[in-house]
C-alpha cells in the first residue's frame, strides 16, 4: 500500500469548513448507505468557490449541502457554459480514503474550462476541495464491497447577463454521492446500438471537453436506442466512418490476435482517465495497444468473423462494461459469445484491486484524501 504524505487535510486546505447545522443523524445516514443507487443520495456538505473577473477565485468553502440561489438570467441557463468532472473516493481496509489519479481530472477540468471559455481552477484548489469535502463527510464514504463515494466537481457561468460572451462570474462546486457497485453480481454485458443518424461531436467542436452540452445532445439518441431495447449508444465520427465512443464511456476492441485497439484522441472524443490507465495495464500484460482510427465496417466485420474477441466500454462509473451485443441498421451481432471475456475480466479486477487497496499501487495512481 502507498504511504500517506498528507498532514490533516483540514489544516492545509484553502477551503474553510462551515459545518452544516442540520446534518443527517447516524440512523438516517445508515438507512441511505444501506440502499445505494447511482446519483440519488448526497452527503451533508458541498464544496464551493466563486470566480469573478475582478477578484479571481475566492470564497473557497465547504458548507451545508442545499439548493443554490440563481438569477433567472444566469448565463448557464441560456448558453450552457458549464463543465464537470467525475471521480471516486474509495475506502481502504485500514480506514483511509483514496482517490484515483485526481491530478488527471484536475488537468482535464482545466482543458474543458479553456474550451468553454471558463476560468481555470488551479490543481491545488481542485485537490483541496475534494480533500476538505471528503474529510468533512468521511462518514458518508461507504465501505461495503464495490461501493465508493462519487465526486462531482462542476463549474458554471452564474453571471446574470443575456449577452453572448464568456461570463464574468462563475461558480465552482463539488457534490458527493455514495454509490454502490455498478455490477452487483459479476460483469453484465450490455447491448449497444451504433448510431448513424446522430453525432455526439465533430472536429473543432466540444467533443474533447467534459461539458453538459455534449450530454444534452446525446439524450435523444440514447432514448431512441433504449426504446429499441439497447443499453447504450456507440457514436461514430462526423464522417460516419470511424468508431468514436459511447455517450459517457470510451471503447476498447480486443482482437483474437492479442491486439487491443481504441480510437485515437482525435479531438472529438473524451480523454478518459480509465481509458489511459487501461492502456497502460494492457501494455504491461503484454498486449499490443494501438490508438488508431477504427473503421465501423472493420469492427462489424471483425465481430461477425470472430477476429474481434472482446469489446468493452470503460469509464469511472462502471470501470469496464463488457459489450455482448452490437447492432445497428442492417446488423445485429453477438460479441464474444455474449459473455464478458478474459481480458475484460482481468482489466476490471486489476484496476479495482488497485483502487480499493487490495493490490500494490505500483504506478502511483492513488492520492490519499483522508
Ligand atoms: C467522463 C467521460 C468518459 C470517461 O472518462 P473517465 O475519466 O474514464 O471517467 C468517456 N466519455 C465521455 C463522453 C465522458 O464524459
Pocket test for ligand 1, best of 102, 151, 195, 210 (most atoms within 8 A of CB): 210
- pLDDT of 22 higher than 70: yes
pLDDT digits (tens, 9 = 90+) for 119-150: 999 999 999 999 999 999 999 999 999 999 99
* Residue 13: pLDDT band with limits 50, 70, 90: confident
What's the Cα-to-Cα distance from 57 to each of 49, 118, 122, 337, rounded to whole Å?
A: 7, 12, 9, 53
Ligand 1 neighbours, Cβ below 6 Å, are 86, 210, 245, 248-250, 270, 272-275, 315-316
Burial class (CB within 10 angstroms; exposed 0-12, middle 13-18, buried 19+) of 291: middle
Q: Using DSSP, state whether 285 is helix, strand or coil.
A: helix
Please determine whether the domains at 3-184+360-368 and 190-339 fall in the same fold group of CATH: no
Residue nearest to atom 14 of ligand 1 (CA): 248
Residue 91: partners with Cβ closer than 8 Å, 6 or more residues away: 97, 141, 142, 143, 148, 356
Q: What is the dihedral of CA 114, 115, 116, 120, to 10 degrees?
A: -10
Residue nearest to atom 6 of ligand 1 (CA): 272
At 186 the pLDDT is 82
Domain residue ranges of the chain, discontinuous segments joined by +? 3-184+360-368, 190-339
Whole-angstrom distance between the N-terminal and C-terminal Cα of the chain?
15
pLDDT digits (tens, 9 = 90+) for 215-271: 999 999 999 999 999 999 999 999 999 999 999 999 999 999 999 999 999 999 999
Q: Using DSSP, state whether 51 is helix, strand or coil.
A: strand
Residue 234: partners with Cβ closer than 8 Å, 6 or more residues away: 192, 193, 194, 195, 243, 244, 245, 246, 251, 326
At 315 the pLDDT is 98
Q: What is the grid cell recorded at 231? A: 443499453
State the average pLDDT for the chain. 95
Q: What is the grid cell recorded at 326? A: 452490437
Q: What is the dihedral of CA 40, 46, 51, 52, to 10 degrees?
A: 90
At 185 the pLDDT is 78
Q: Nearest to residue 178, comparing CAs of 210, 215, 212, 138? A: 138
Give the residue-averaged pLDDT of 10-25: 89
Q: Residue 122: how many CB atoms within 10 A of its CB?
A: 14
Residue nearest to atom 1 of ligand 1 (CA): 248
State the fold for domain 3-184+360-368.
Answer: D-amino Acid Aminotransferase; Chain A, domain 1 (3.30.470)
Report how far ligand 1's centroid is from the alpha carbon of 75 (Å). Answer: 25
- pLDDT of 4 higher than 60: no
CB distance 137 to 43 below 8 Å? yes
pLDDT digits (tens, 9 = 90+) for 154-197: 999 999 999 999 999 999 999 999 999 888 778 999 999 999 99
- Of 14-23, 31-40, 179-188, the range with the highest mean pLDDT is 14-23
* Residue 8: pLDDT band with limits 50, 70, 90: very low
CB distance 368 to 96 below 8 Å? yes
- pLDDT of 6 higher than 70: no
CB distance 314 to 321 below 8 Å? yes
Of all residues in the chain, what percent are helix, strand and coil, respectively (each to 5)? 30, 30, 40
State the fold for domain 190-339.
Answer: D-amino Acid Aminotransferase; Chain A, domain 2 (3.20.10)
Using left for φ > 0, alpha for ψ between -120 and 50, and beta otherwise, residue 336 falls in left
CB distance 25 to 17 below 8 Å? no
**Spatial separation of the C-alpha atoms in residues 261 and 270, rounded to whole Å:** 16
At 183 the pLDDT is 81
pLDDT digits (tens, 9 = 90+) for 319-359: 999 999 999 999 999 999 999 999 999 999 999 999 999 99
Instruction: Pick 40 or 5 by higher pLDDT.
Output: 40
pLDDT digits (tens, 9 = 90+) for 64-114: 999 999 999 999 999 999 999 999 999 999 999 999 999 999 999 999 999
Report how far ligand 1's centroid is from the alpha carbon of 125 (Å). Answer: 22
Pocket test for ligand 1, best of 108, 272, 275 (most atoms within 8 A of CB): 272
Per cent of the chain over pLDDT 70 is: 97
* Residue 9: pLDDT band with limits 50, 70, 90: very low
At 179 the pLDDT is 97
* Residue 2: pLDDT band with limits 50, 70, 90: very low
Residue nearest to atom 12 of ligand 1 (CA): 248
Amino acid at each position: 500500500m502507498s504511504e500517506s504524505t498528507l498532514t490533516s487535510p483540514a489544516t492545509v486546505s484553502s477551503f474553510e469548513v462551515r459545518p452544516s447545522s442540520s446534518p443527517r443523524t447516524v440512523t438516517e445516514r445508515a438507512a441511505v448507505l444501506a440502499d445505494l443507487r447511482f446519483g440519488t443520495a448526497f452527503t451533508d456538505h458541498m464544496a464551493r468557490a466563486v470566480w469573478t473577473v475582478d477578484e479571481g477565485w475566492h470564497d473557497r468553502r465547504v458548507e451545508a449541502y442545499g439548493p443554490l440561489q440563481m438569477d433567472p438570467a444566469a448565463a448557464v441557463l441560456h448558453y450552457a457554459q458549464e463543465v464537470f468532472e467525475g471521480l471516486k473516493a474509495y475506502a481502504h481496509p485500514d480506514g483511509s480514503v483514496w482517490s484515483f489519479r485526481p491530478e488527471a481530472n484536475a488537468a482535464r477540468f482545466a482543458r474543458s474550462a479553456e474550451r468553454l471559455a471558463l476560468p481555470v481552477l488551479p490543481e491545488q484548489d481542485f485537490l483541496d476541495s475534494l480533500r476538505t469535502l471528503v474529510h468533512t463527510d468521511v462518514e458518508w464514504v461507504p465501505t461495503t464491497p464495490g461501493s465508493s463515494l462519487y465526486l462531482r466537481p462542476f463549474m458554471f457561468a452564474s453571471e446574470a447577463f443575456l449577452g453572448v460572451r464568456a461570463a464574468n462570474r462563475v461558480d465552482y462546486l463539488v457534490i458527493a454521492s455514495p454509490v454502490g457497485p455498478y455490477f452487483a453480481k459479476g460483469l453484465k454485458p450490455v447491448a449497444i446500438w451504433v448510431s448513424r443518424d446522430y453525432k455526439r461531436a465533430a472536429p473543432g467542436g466540444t467533443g474533447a471537453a467534459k461539458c453538459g452540452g455534449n450530454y444534452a445532445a446525446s439524450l435523444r439518441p440514447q432514448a431512441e436506442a433504449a426504446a429499441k431495447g439497447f443499453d447504450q449508444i456507440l457514436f461514430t465520427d462526423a464522417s460516419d466512418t470511424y468508431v468514436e465512443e459511447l455517450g459517457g464511456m470510451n471503447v476498447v476492441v480486443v482482437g483474437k490476435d492479442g491486439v487491443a485497439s481504441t480510437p485515437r484522441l482525435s479531438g472529438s472524443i473524451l480523454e478518459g482517465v480509465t481509458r489511459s490507465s487501461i492502456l497502460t495495464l494492457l501494455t504491461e500484460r503484454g498486449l499490443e495497444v494501438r490508438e488508431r482510427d477504427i473503421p465501423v465496417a472493420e469492427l462489424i466485420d471483425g465481430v461477425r468473423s470472430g477476429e474481434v474477441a472482446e469489446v468493452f466500454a470503460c469509464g469511472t462509473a462502471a470501470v469496464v462494461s463488457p459489450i455482448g451485443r452490437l447492432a445497428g441498421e442492417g446488423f445485429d451481432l453477438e460479441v464474444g459469445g455474449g459473455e464478458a471475456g478474459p481480458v475484460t475480466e482481468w482489466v476490471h479486477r486489476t484496476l479495482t484491486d488497485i483502487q480499493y487497496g487490495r493490490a500494490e499501487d505500483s504506478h502511483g495512481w492513488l492520492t490519499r484524501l483522508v
